[in-house]
Amino acid sequence: MLVCDNVVRRFGGVVALKNVSVAVRRGEIFGLVGPNGSGKTTLVNAITGFYPPQEGRITLDGTRINGLKPFRIAGMGVARTFQNVALFHGMSVLDNILMGRHIFMKPNPLASFFYPWWAQKEEVEHRRHVEEVIDLLQLAPARDEHVDVIPLGLQKRVELARALCAEPKLLVLDEPMAGMNQEEKEYMVRFILDAQEALGLTVLIIEHHMDVVTALCDRVLVLNNGQEIAQGPAREAIADPRVVEAYIGKPRHAA
Q: Is the pTM of this model over 0.75?
A: yes
Q: Average of pLDDT values for 120-142? A: 86
Res 101 pLDDT > 70: yes
The C-alpha R_g of the chain, in whole angstroms, comes to 20
Q: What pLDDT score was predicted for residue 255? A: 46
Of residues 254 and 113, more confidently modeled: 113
Spell 191-224 as b/e; 16+ CB within 10 A means b: bbeebbeeeebbbbbbbebbebbebbbebbbbbb
With left for phi above 0 and alpha for psi between -120 and 50, is residue 227 left, alpha or beta?
beta
Lowest-pLDDT choice from 5-19, 115-129, 219-233: 115-129
| H helix or E strand, kind and range, residue 170 | strand 170-174
Q: Could you count the other beta carbons within 10 Å of the beta carbon of residue 32?
A: 27
- pLDDT computed for residue 120 by the predictor: 67
Identify the weakest region by mean pLDDT among 36-40, 106-110, 212-216, 224-228: 106-110
> Average pLDDT for residues 233-247, to the nearest whole number?
86
Per-residue burial over 141-166, b if 16 or more Cβ lie within 10 Å, else e, is: ebeeeebeebeebbbbbbbbbbbbbb
Q: Domains in the chain, please, with CATH?
A: 21-87+151-237 (3.40.50.300)
Task: Over range 136-165, report the average pLDDT.
Answer: 91
Q: Give the range with max mean pLDDT: 17-31, 95-109, 225-239.
A: 17-31
**For 57-83, what is each residue's pLDDT tens digit?**
999 999 999 889 999 999 999 999 988
